Structure 1
């Protein structure tokens, strides 16, 4: 089941990459909805489940909460390191909608001196992140169908942005279109591979709770620091906010139905 569900992440990643090539004016609504779905999963499903599964405390603080904070900080560190490397090589923005009008084709080509390897490295980090998304889907299904469905919805929603950024990160550094498409394909396949890997092992409940806490922290960072700001940057519309609220309410409905 986890592998079949991960195919949704595969398709959504490809959709994000296609949108990166042909940006539409409705992307902000998709990102607003994705941010709401991610917030709902973290607050209404991942945190409660990780606290219950992990159980132990460290200096009076539940281990799951410590790992939640660690996941948030880890995602922030990785994002800052990638941003520093892009700035050091004079890169364009990872998400090109801020720099070019809707419907534009390829992102601006870089000036001479920018290393294509930096773009490939950043895209490879996105692929690794997507593989861990797949592991999270598989691990969540080990807890139960409701948990698996909620995590899968969040992963599938934000994989649109992953596909978008994987394509643009690669091409913005001067890599050929075929390389950008190859990295997009790898990023799309990564969640399926990650979910499939969980068929060969079962995480002990305390370890599973800790992992879900760590993943929840990273997911919250992506939603709060990247997905939602990007959704409201070019289109601070009421409709975008409504999509975010709708995403949270939908996860509430999923969680309530599953329980």
Structure 2
């Protein structure tokens, strides 16, 4: 049963990525919506989940929030370090390759997140079958946006369409693998919550520092881009609220 439920997540993830691939003419709207969705995922799903699971504090600060700040600052330092290089023609290719690597890292983080979604389905099934169905509904509901974001973020950083589709496929397969492996491996709770905080900081930085500015580089329909961002956030509020 957990594997069957994760297959539905597989299909929704693929659908989200394929939609992102098909709306290139409205790229500013895609990026605006993706940033709103990412904000919603962090604010309404990842951080609340991490804080309810983890009681460990480091110098009075919950571990997930410490990892959140570490990820945000870490990716900022990396990007500023890349930006300090003078863009001579000879090193332009190196700089572009480094940015492509950021896209791969972001897409890979989303793959890991999808794996943990599948693991949540499998773990909840071991406790109660009806609980697994409830968890799966929540996973399936936001896996469309996971696929959407995986393709969008990977493409935004200059990666070829084939590479973005490869990461999208891995992202779709990840929940199936996660649901399967929960019968063999238990994820330590502290590692899970630390990862949720780390991923939250990483995701929020990309949304606010890269994706939103890129969405507004064009003067086309700025109001519609803002509306897409707000809509993406509100949609995740409703989706996550109805699935909990």
TM-score by length of 1: 0.70
How far apart in 1 are the matches of 2:57 and 2:22? 45
Q: Which residue of 2 aligns with 1:43?
A: 43
**Deviation of the 1:46 alpha carbon:** 0.8
2:181 equivalent to 1:204: no
How far apart in 2 are the matches of 1:256 and 1:45? 9
Q: Which residue of 1 aligns with 2:229?
A: 244
2:208 equivalent to 1:224: yes
**Deviation of the 1:148 alpha carbon:** 3.0
2:122 equivalent to 1:131: no
How far apart in 2 are the matches of 1:79 and 1:11? 31
Note the residue ranges of structure 1 that are not aligned, 5 or more in a row.
91-110, 171-179
How far apart in 2 are the matches of 1:77 and 1:202? 34
Q: Answer yes or no: is the 8 Å Cα contact 2:107–2:151 preserved in 1.
A: no
Q: Answer yes or no: is the 8 Å Cα contact 1:140–1:148 preserved in 2.
A: yes
**Deviation of the 1:157 alpha carbon:** 3.0
What SS does the aligned partner of 1:233 have?
Answer: coil
How far apart in 2 are the matches of 1:150 and 1:218? 22
Q: Answer yes or no: is the 8 Å Cα contact 2:64–2:194 preserved in 1.
A: yes
Show CA shifts across 1:182-221 (max 9, x none): 5445444443465455343432222211111110110100
Show CA shifts across 1:128-180 (max 9, x none): 432221111121343433553466344323224324235xx36xxxxxxxxx4
Aligned equivalent of 1:148, options 139, 145, 152: 139
Q: Which residue of 2 aligns with 1:162?
A: 153
Q: 1:151 to 1:13 in 2, by over 3 A?
A: closer
How far apart in 1 are the matches of 2:81 and 2:34? 24
Q: Which residue of 2 aligns with 1:102?
A: none
Show CA shifts across 1:22-54 (max 9, x none): x52x21111111111110110111111001112
How far apart in 2 are the matches of 1:230 and 1:121? 18
Higher helix share: 2
Note the residue ranges of structure 2 that are not aligned, 5 or more in a row.
121-134
2:54 equivalent to 1:54: yes
Q: 1:185 to 1:118 in 2, by over 3 A?
A: farther
**Deviation of the 1:124 alpha carbon:** 4.4
How far apart in 2 are the matches of 1:181 and 1:29? 19
Q: Which residue of 1 aligns with 2:241?
A: 256
Q: 1:68 to 1:38 in 2, by over 3 A?
A: same
Q: Answer yes or no: is the 8 Å Cα contact 1:64–1:210 preserved in 2.
A: yes
Q: Answer yes or no: is the 8 Å Cα contact 2:150–2:171 preserved in 1.
A: no
Q: How does 1:85-104 map to 2 (within 5 A)?
A: 87-88=85-86, 90=88
